[in-house]
Amino acid sequence: MNDVLSNSQKSYQAYRYRLAGMVEYKEAYKPCYKVFTILHNQSIGPSEGVEDNSIFLIGIEVTLYYMQLFSLLLIIMTRMMSPVSSEGSLKIGVIYFSPIDVKLKKDLLYNIGITYRCNVDEIEGLRTLPTEAYFKARNRYRAPIILEYLKTIHGYDKIIGVTSNDISTTSRGVYDWGVLGLGYCPGKSCVISTYRMKTSNKALFKERFIKIALHELGHTMGIPHCAKDLKCFMSDAEGTVRSVDREEMSLCSSCKKILNKD
């Protein structure tokens, strides 16, 4: 009996060393180590002993295996669900010039985060569009001037402005061409307008809103209009929101390469 108990204790001692190594790697396992030590002492104390405690040791082994597996899955799920990258090297700010539905704001932050793997924040409060951007002849605002204003906001690598007012730029030989959004390519700032996204379909409006925001931010990352895949959200809207509706909420492989290049 003493020989059997001694061998069993030796096995357990070796297991404790292995467990201690695990504890040194991950502090979270200390409580488990203490619990298993107490259970072991109670089950095979010096005076009581058992002929074989291999089942007990196997139980500990299996339990720790599943704990490690659960911890790994938890880390993976946390990273997948988080809109912020683990390094958080890029910081994007969202600034509002008009009231927007709270849930829509959250959806926008989430999609910006998972698409560009960045830290993204809503800049609190409503801002006023710069008065010098107002084009009285068409009752709308000049987007290039708004971009210049957004560049002056510090603390962010990229800034996107959101307004419900109509915006315009010079394009296709027309001085005041109405647009869904505009962004430097590459650069710091971009702006989008919900004025031309309007629809009674709330789900469709949400898709338009997020895709156009991702599109303009894509320009600031140096991604030009995509001519390879009409479903890529970097496709040119060609002056109509209908073109946006055919796009998907993702980049094509070519645009991903541009985004991920060093």
pLDDT in tens, 98-112: 999 999 999 999 999
Average the pLDDT over 241-249 and give the result: 94
Instruction: Please enumerate, as own/partner, the contacts of 225-231 that have beta carbons within 8 Å and a separation of 24 or more.
Output: 226/252, 226/254, 226/255, 228/252, 228/254, 229/254
What average pLDDT does this structure show over 146-150? 98
Q: How confident is the model at residue 70 (pLDDT cuts 50, 70, 90)?
A: confident
Q: List the one residue out of 73, 13, 20, 77 whose CA is nearest residue 44.
A: 13
pLDDT tens for 16-46 read: 544 444 444 444 445 554 544 555 555 545 4
Q: Do residues 252 and 258 make contact, with C-beta atoms less than 8 angstroms apart?
A: no
Mean confidence (pLDDT) of the chain: 82
What sign does the CA torsion over 209, 214, 219, 224 have? negative
The CATH number of the domain covering residues in 91-260:
3.40.390.10
pLDDT score for 195: 97
Burial of 208 by CB count in 10 Å (0-12 exposed, 13-18 middle, 19+ buried)?
A: buried
The pLDDT of 120-144, averaged and rounded, is: 97
Does this model's pTM top 0.75? no
Q: Residue ranges of the domains in the chain?
A: 2-81, 91-260
Structure confidence at residue 19 (pLDDT): 47
